Structure 1
Amino acid sequence: MLIRWPVTLLAAVPAYNEELEAHYNIERGPFTKALGRRTQVINVTPRDQFRYGYRLWLDDETAMPLKSQLCDRDGNVIEQILFAELNFRDRIPADSLKPSISGEGFRWIRQDVQPQLAAGQVGGWGVIRLPAGFRLTAWRIQLIAGSNVPVQHLVYSDGLASVSVFIEPSDPQAQPMRGLAKVGAAFAFSRALDGHQVTAVGEVPPVTLEAIASSVTKDEAKTAPTPATAVPPQQ
């Protein structure tokens, strides 16, 4: 039985650089066993209160991550992801790599490279005081299902941890969300701002989400080009 590759395990593996080293201490731990295979433990420890740490078990032969743990500053495990069973094949048939979903009848929309935006502003929205190391890495405008209400989606990352910020017009008929909420291993922090609801979501400490959401601001003088993904669905 071949277990499909969990994308979350791959995302937890840090790409080392000096910028990441400024906010995390990355050290080799002991060799141990996982799924009967020799693994190298990697400890990724945050240097401040704005991010979580990680423990990674990398297969010694292939460097494939077999297990990962998301940890708080005290080393307590918040979330754990691991293979239940793993088989390495000597050869993978070409047919196994074919897409399982046909693209017939789909309409392809290719988004152009996003322009650099001054001070991280998107459509006039931005965060004026980010925790150290975080920067704007992606943005888009999407539509709420069943309506034409645009939602700004901004992603801030330090190279390992990431926070999504959603900015949408307030619905007068709905009960607004306020403050902190837990969503699985992640947290969400919401606030009202200028007729909009701002929500920051991520697998980071609550203080990080509150700092980012509380620093969202709008500059009416700044606008951003409309990305290609902001296309209303065809009727």
Structure 2
Amino acid sequence: MTQLRHALFSIAIAGTALLPSLVNAQNQCDIDQSIAGAVDQIQESHQNFSYSGTFLKESSGSRNFIAKSHAAGEELGELDYLNAPATEEMQSVWAPRGPAITACELSAVYSLHLEPGPKVAGRSTSALHLRPRDGLRLGYRLALDNASGLILKSESFSEDGKLLERHEYASITVTPKEDAAAEESVTALMQHLDIVGLPFGYKASLARGFEEKALFVSDGIAAATVVFEPLPDDLSPGEGAVRHGATLTYSRGSVVSGTRILVTVIGEVPLAAARLIAEAVRVAPSR
């Protein structure tokens, strides 16, 4: 794994962070207003609340206890792997703000259902079920904090309904953002790119700081980082993929206009979606 790909991996694992909504756009479709409100609350939660806590991550037979902290309105957070080797303890997590999406747009690619949820970390929740309408995204079951909209528990499911990964907070402290601080840390949206050929419902944005080497692609729930590198001379064009829990790493080597390029898609997406994303964006950095 190259240094760039390692630096951007934290973007891909933030796939459950929703993008900001459009004002009053929920009236564009016939959707239950409680679901529309829940979607809006999720999208606003990272801007309106600071939090710190410890959660359990279960993935591919492994169990990790992770401490996470995030300041309201900030893009970067910190993860501390409490039972990992010393060299893997700390990670930064980037929760980017990208193209706007509404609950109506989300309902075009997921079947949405909201019901009372279990208590998580001692807090009351609502359970939001997202069942994909096609084979280009995973399924999710989210437990949303009723007070803040923060996701306190998430479960990711494969195309055949198999549980791939589970995150659940054991303890968490949530603090509302003060109004005075809201004006001091306005987060700029990433630049949206109109790329032909992306899977239906997905939108692409430049990965700020890596504009010539990476993109961020998301449908509002499913998310992936796309990294561009020169294809090494000792590698032939082709593809390869490996999944760890909900996260897929898919690489494709190609020759585009005489240039050897390696495109890697890292995120919570099915293989079919990763292939379409790689094909659609493989020449995007040069545009």
Do both share a fold (TM > 0.5)?
A: yes
SS in 1 for 2:171: coil
User: How far apart in 1 are the matches of 2:227 and 2:169?
Assistant: 32
SS in 2 for 1:33: coil
How many residues matched?
184
RMSD: 3.8
SS in 2 for 1:86: strand
TM-score (norm 2): 0.52
SS in 2 for 1:22: helix
User: How far apart in 2 are the matches of 1:155 and 1:181?
Assistant: 20
CA contact (8 A) 1:151 1:166 kept: no
Residues 142-166 of structure 1 deviation map (CA, whole Å, 9 limit, x = unaligned): 4xxxxxxx96212221122122222
Find the partner of 1:214 among 269, 279, 282: 279
**Change in 2 beyond 3 A, CA 1:213/1:113:** closer
CA contact (8 A) 1:24 1:44 kept: yes
AA of the residue aligned to 2:164 = I
Q: Which residue of 2 aligns with 1:164?
A: 225
Normalized per residue, the structure richer in helix is: 2
SS in 1 for 2:135: coil
**1:7-86 correspondence to structure 2 within 5 Å:** 16-86=102-172
**1:145-224 correspondence to structure 2 within 5 Å:** 152-172=213-233, 178-194=239-255, 195-218=260-283, 223-224=286-287
* Larger-Rg structure: 1
Find the partner of 1:134 among 160, 180, 202: 202
AA of the residue aligned to 2:252 = R
SS in 2 for 1:20: helix
Question: Unpaired segments of 5 or more residues in structure 1?
Answer: 93-110, 121-127, 143-149, 225-235
> Percent of aligned positions with the same letter in both sequences?
30
Residues 17-65 of structure 1 deviation map (CA, whole Å, 9 limit, x = unaligned): 2111110111113443323443221111111110012111123344443
Question: Unpaired segments of 5 or more residues in structure 2?
Answer: 1-51, 54-67, 71-76, 78-92, 179-187
AA of the residue aligned to 1:51 = R
AA of the residue aligned to 1:83 = Y
User: How far apart in 2 are the matches of 1:28 and 1:77?
Assistant: 19
